[in-house]
Amino acid sequence: MSINEEVELLRRIPLFAKIEPAKLKLLAFTSQRITYKPGDTVFHQGDPGDAAYVIFGGEADVLVDTPSGPLTVARLKQNDFVGEIAILCDVPRTATVKAVSELVTLRITKDLFFRLITDFPQIAIEIMRVLAQRLERTTADLRSATAKQNGKT
């Protein structure tokens, strides 16, 4: 995949849609493209957060550890962005991400990620929007699970 193809892929992601192509080219050039095989782990829950990932192709599961074993809480696909919580909050990874199919990612280091947010405040706004949507979805899931639990007792 060429730098120009990576720039085109980045432009389709809402997070990066408003960034000028020259800056996207720099992002693509300074980031690392990594391909994972099905079953490969991108990162583990509890690992230090050193990078965020853009999904260029394929699918991955987001798993959280529970007393009864790993629980799949989301499925990532093309144009999704993952790993930013550990970077933003400076906490260990909150989940494990594992490739379901061949997975092509762009790994954006913590330093580069913060440089992007500083240079392009609209990225910070888009990240807040994505995190708020995830929180709303998690809250709805929790309400649903609580209602089912209460219905069983």
**Domain-wise residue ranges, the chain:** 3-147
End-to-end Cα, the chain, rounded Å: 55
Q: What is the pTM of this model?
A: 0.82
List all residues 6 or more positions away from 129 whose beta carbon is below 8 Å from its beta carbon: none
Mean pLDDT (the chain, rounded): 88
Quick check: 92 and 47 in contact, CB under 8 A? yes
pLDDT of res. 70: 92
Q: What integer is the mean pLDDT of 25-30?
A: 86
Residue 59 has pLDDT above 90, yes or no: yes
> What is the spatial distance between Cα 81 and Cα 54, in angstroms, rounded to a whole number?
5
CATH code of the domain made up of 3-147: 2.60.120.10
pLDDT of res. 152: 63
Could you give the C-alpha distances from 103 to 34, 67, 128, in angstroms and in order?
Answer: 8, 28, 25
pLDDT tier, 84 (very low <50, low <70, confident <90, very high otherwise)? confident
**Could you report the per-residue pLDDT of 120-141, keeping only the tens digit for each?**
888 888 888 888 887 888 788 7
pLDDT above 90 coverage of the chain, percent: 41
pLDDT of res. 101: 97
Q: What integer is the mean pLDDT of 50-75?
A: 93
